[in-house]
Amino acid sequence: MSDVPDRSFDYDYDGIQEYDNPLPRWWVYLFIGTIIFAAVYYPYYHFGSGKLPSQQWAEDMEEWNRLHPPVPLPNEDELMPMSSDKGVLERGKGVFATRCVSCHGPDGGGQVGPNLTDDYAIHGYSRANIVKVVNDGVAAKGMIAWGPQLSREDVVAVGLYAYSLRGSKPANPKAPQGDPIR
Ligand code: HEC
């Protein structure tokens, strides 16, 4: 091992030796720099007035919500003319096929979710009620809130399509749930 320079440690494992080189200066300064940075950063953001990403995010969301107040869902009078619009129902049918059949069945006869075609409803059977359930969901019962996931047009269209299913004859109707529709 004669070619190993002087500044190596005094051991030799199967011919493997370790140099005792000093760390490069720039590296040492960088390292000390990170410690100084942390000593300022940590107290400022964790105990001082600095905002952590989660706080900043919450504030930005509050600001965004203030600037964009939620647009109210259309009421029954506004929905009524739309529910006979073929284009709206076609659109709703498309959304239903991708988003709703897994729980309400391909023809709305119900699976995990209730039968949408019978004369019973848990949350009422007006157009507005149905659009609201679709938009807000029923988190505790496993009905997804579609408002945050779909456009308003899709929520309205699929709600009105669900409304239009009443009276149709599904292949495997689920037993009624909720109250009789008056
Ligand atoms: C993950 C399963 C699931 C999916 C997907 C789902 N639903 Fe539901 N839905 C449910 C469940 C469960 C209920 C019953 C809620 C309750 O018991 O209050 C429900 C309730 C409803 C109701 C109210 C029925 C009533 O009797 O009042 C409507 C309307 C409805 N869903 C429409 C839709 C539409 C439209 C879609 C697609 C955009 C959809 N659902 C997607 C599970 C689902």
pLDDT higher than 90, residue 12: no
- Specify the higher pLDDT residue, 142 or 21: 142
Alpha-carbon gap, residue 109 to 120, rounded angstroms? 12
Q: What is residue 5's predicted lDDT score, i.e. its pLDDT?
A: 53
How many of the other CB atoms lie within 10 Å of CB of 4? 13
173 CA from centroid of ligand 1 (Å):
15
182 CA from centroid of ligand 1 (Å):
20
Alpha-carbon gap, residue 157 to 19, rounded angstroms? 73
> Which residue owns the Cα nearest ligand 1 atom 17?
141
- Specify the higher pLDDT residue, 28 or 15: 28
Q: What is residue 55's predicted lDDT score, i.e. its pLDDT?
A: 93
Give pLDDT tens digits for 36-79. Answer: 999 999 999 999 999 999 999 999 999 999 999 988 999 999 99
Q: What is residue 1's predicted lDDT score, i.e. its pLDDT?
A: 45
145 CA from centroid of ligand 1 (Å):
9
pLDDT higher than 90, residue 150: yes
Alpha-carbon gap, residue 39 to 8, rounded angstroms? 35
pLDDT higher than 90, residue 29: yes
Q: What is residue 6's predicted lDDT score, i.e. its pLDDT?
A: 62
Q: What is residue 3's predicted lDDT score, i.e. its pLDDT?
A: 54
* For the CA of 120, the nearest atom of ligand 1: 26
Q: What is the mean pLDDT of the chain?
A: 94
What does pTM read for this prediction?
0.74
pLDDT higher than 90, residue 10: no
At 35, is the pLDDT very low, low, confident or very high (cuts 50, 70, 90)?
very high
Query: Which of 119, 141, 143 for a ligand 1 pocket mutation test, highest count of atoms within 8 Å of Cβ?
Result: 143
Ligand 1: residues whose CB is within 6 Å? 95-96, 99-100, 102-104, 112-114, 116, 121-123, 130, 133-134, 138, 141-144, 146, 158, 162, 177-178
Domains for the chain: give ranges and CATH numbers.
1-69 (no CATH), 76-180 (1.10.760.10)
47 CA from centroid of ligand 1 (Å):
46
